[in-house]
Amino acid sequence: MAELQVTAPYKTLPARIVFSLMCAILPLWAIIAPAALGYFIGRAIMHPESMPVATTIGGCLGLLAFILAAIATTAVAEDNRLYISKDGISFPPFLLPWLHFRRARRWSELTGAEICQSESSQSKQLLLTFDSTACLSLDLGCFESCDTEPFLLAIELWGVNCQRSPKLIEYQSQIQNQSHGIAKQGYTQMWEEELSRRFQATSFVPLEPGTQLQDGSLRIVRQLAFGGLSAIYLAQHHCQELVVLKEAIVPPNADPDTRAQAQQHLIREADMLSHLSHPNIARVLDHFVEAGRHYLMLEYINGTDLRQYVKQNGSVDDGTAIEWGLQILTILRVLHEQQPPILHRDLTPENLVLTRDAIILIDFGAANQFVGAATGTVVGKQAYIPPEQLRGKAVVESDLYAFGGTIYFLLTGQDPLPLSIAHPKAIADDVDADLDAIIARCSAFEPEDRFHSAAEVSTALQELLPRLKSDSKVTITPAKSEPSND
């Protein structure tokens, strides 16, 4: 399930130094000291008169203490993880002196959280205060970037007695904005743009944080995205697990026949998606209608979306782009081989999340796509929309156009030009010419000039991969699962 459970490595410099040192002297405490201890014991048994009793006992106890101390030190230095769940936080053993030697702390004990930064250091410190007067300072620079946001989110969700400082709230908002590709800009400009986008041509008003649905079993935590007559939220289910909630409404000014058709599409699509089962697709957990709005409840995936990854790490090499692309094509095969085929219509870097194990599709665009089909509304982001989709005639090849744009983005770090054939080699000279040709064919202007199925693109990339694989910086084995609708 999608319950927020984070295992966050806390890699401090002293702990790394101690662990490296213990590894360096491993032969001394793991081989030589036990051998010497065995020698002392054997000598005392076989020739008790050859060595004073006090010397024998002292030597054995000293060696035993050294071995046990080395094992304990290594274990403490190696165990550097924070375990975060709805029950509380379990800290690494080397932090116990600051926690009054209580490793596990319940959320009810957490009374304060704030961000501090010393003048001599650029790193930010997260200061946690517990009701037993224990105070712990954590260097946020020692966490992986992908673990910081869910850690702070857990404090917000479950730290019911915790007073979060304004600086912490500001910092949390900053990293959340960065994770969704929101650039820094003035509050006035952001407010004007948001008002224009939300309310210019519709009376649709997104739900506010704290809103409850399904008789209180769902609580909106925050709004993630908006567009047209839909919104995406992070929500909490049964006060425990995190889920993603996709909301859509049928345009209120649509004629009765159009409204009925759109509603039927939404219900049918939700039912179809709920039966999909594939490791690279976030599961649809539920579908319901409340107050005239349709909702899809999806599994929450903790990871980094591809836009955020490229923003933080730069463009990827050819081998990595192909490896990831094969996983994306596996997802498209699952959708396209349904009966009738499911067209995504909104495949973009934001909708694909890189986890530690795989690339996961986190947003089907299902709510928008069928309202769009019934009402003539364009769905998708401009740079990834093919010409026929703008005309309201999306086909399987339309998703392949968006796929080509996504790989172009991975290779160049730039969105493709709208309504153009994508040539990543024109931006990045080191892109392989054959890979450039595959991307260009995916993004051909007319559907008939593109590949006709995800399987065709996959075959072309697999033929190219062996020659490029040795240059890959990141390797993630493509999913081998066959498309399934069990």
How far is residue 50 CA from its own chain's centroid?
A: 66
Q: What pLDDT is recorded for position 452?
A: 94
pLDDT, average across residues 194-207:
52
In a shared domain, residues 116 and 62 = no
Q: Whole-angstrom Cα distance, residue 344 to residue 379?
A: 10
Domain finish residue from 161, 179, 197: 179
Quick check: is 441 in a domain? yes
Domain finish residue from 133, 154, 179: 179
Quick check: is 115 in a domain? yes
pLDDT at 478 over 50: no
In a shared domain, residues 117 and 237 = no
* pLDDT tens-digit readout, 120-146: 566 788 999 998 678 899 988 888 877
In a shared domain, residues 60 and 128 = no
Q: Is 222 exposed, middle or buried (0-12, 13-18, 19+ CB in 10 A)?
A: middle
* pLDDT tens-digit readout, 372-422: 444 444 444 678 989 888 777 889 999 999 999 999 999 999 999 888 899
Q: What letters, b where the CB count within 10 A reaches 16 and e where it falls short, cover 180-214?
A: eeeeeeeeeeeeeeeeeebeeeeebeebeeeeebe
Q: What is the pTM of this model?
A: 0.59
Q: Is 360 exposed, middle or buried (0-12, 13-18, 19+ CB in 10 A)?
A: buried
What is the tally of structural domains in the chain? 3
Distances (CA, A) of 349 to 260, 407, 451: 32, 9, 20
Domain finish residue from 53, 78, 103: 78
Quick check: is 7 in a domain? no
| Phi, psi (deg, nearest 5) at residue 447 | -55, -35
Question: Which of 41, 22, 34 lies closest to 64, judged by CA?
Answer: 34
In a shared domain, residues 392 and 409 = yes
pLDDT, average across residues 24-46:
87
Q: Which of 176-180, 193-197, 438-442, 469-473 has the lowest mean pLDDT?
A: 193-197
Helices (H), 387-432: 387-390, 396-412
Q: Whole-angstrom Cα distance, residue 413 to residue 410?
A: 6
| Phi, psi (deg, nearest 5) at residue 369 | -65, -35
Q: Whole-angstrom Cα distance, residue 117 to residue 417?
A: 42
pLDDT bin (cut points 50, 70, 90) of residue 323 is: very high
Say which residue the tokens 């289910």 belong to.
Answer: 237
Quick check: is 334 in a domain? yes
pLDDT bin (cut points 50, 70, 90) of residue 371 is: very low
Quick check: is 341 in a domain? yes
| Percentage of residues of the chain with pLDDT beyond 90 | 28
Distances (CA, A) of 76 to 5, 24, 95, 418: 22, 16, 10, 54
Sheet holding 212-213, edge to edge: 212-213, 218-227, 230-237, 241-248, 293-299, 284-290
In a shared domain, residues 386 and 410 = yes
DSSP 8-class letter at 426: G
pLDDT at 370 over 50: no
Count of Cβ atoms closer than 10 Å to residue 265 Cβ: 20
Instruction: Give the containing element (helix H, strand E) for 393.
Output: none
Kindly report the CATH number assigned to the domain that includes residue 113.
2.30.29
pLDDT bin (cut points 50, 70, 90) of residue 204 is: low
Mean pLDDT, all residues of the chain:
80
Q: What pLDDT is recorded for position 306?
A: 93
In a shared domain, residues 164 and 47 = no
pLDDT bin (cut points 50, 70, 90) of residue 318 is: very high
Q: What letters, b where the CB count within 10 A reaches 16 and e where it falls short, cover 325-343?
A: bbbbbbbbbbbbbeeeebb
Q: What pLDDT is recorded for position 258?
A: 67
Q: In DSSP terms, which residues pair with 89 in a beta bridge?
A: 84, 105
Kindly report the CATH number assigned to the domain that includes residue 270.
1.10.510.10
In a shared domain, residues 407 and 388 = yes
Q: What pLDDT is recorded for position 183?
A: 41
Quick check: is 186 in a domain? no
Q: Tell me which residue range forms the domain holding 328.
A: 212-471
pLDDT, average across residues 34-40:
87
Q: Whole-angstrom Cα distance, residue 351 to residue 403?
A: 12
Structure tokens at 336: 């396209």
Question: Which of 408, 409, 407, 412 lies closest to 427, judged by CA?
Answer: 412
Q: What pLDDT is recorded for position 454?
A: 96
pLDDT at 479 over 60: no
More confident residue, 472 or 468: 468
In a shared domain, residues 166 and 221 = no
pLDDT bin (cut points 50, 70, 90) of residue 75 is: confident
In a shared domain, residues 71 and 97 = no
In a shared domain, residues 88 and 72 = no
Quick check: is 481 in a domain? no
* pLDDT tens-digit readout, 231-284: 888 899 988 788 988 887 776 666 677 667 767 766 776 777 777 888 898 888
Say which residue the tokens 């590949």 belong to.
Answer: 451
Q: Whole-angstrom Cα distance, residue 156 to residue 172?
A: 10
Q: Whole-angstrom Cα distance, residue 435 to residue 470?
A: 15
Q: What pLDDT is recorded for position 186?
A: 40
Quick check: is 446 in a domain? yes
pLDDT at 185 over 90: no
In a shared domain, residues 379 and 237 = yes
In a shared domain, residues 286 and 356 = yes
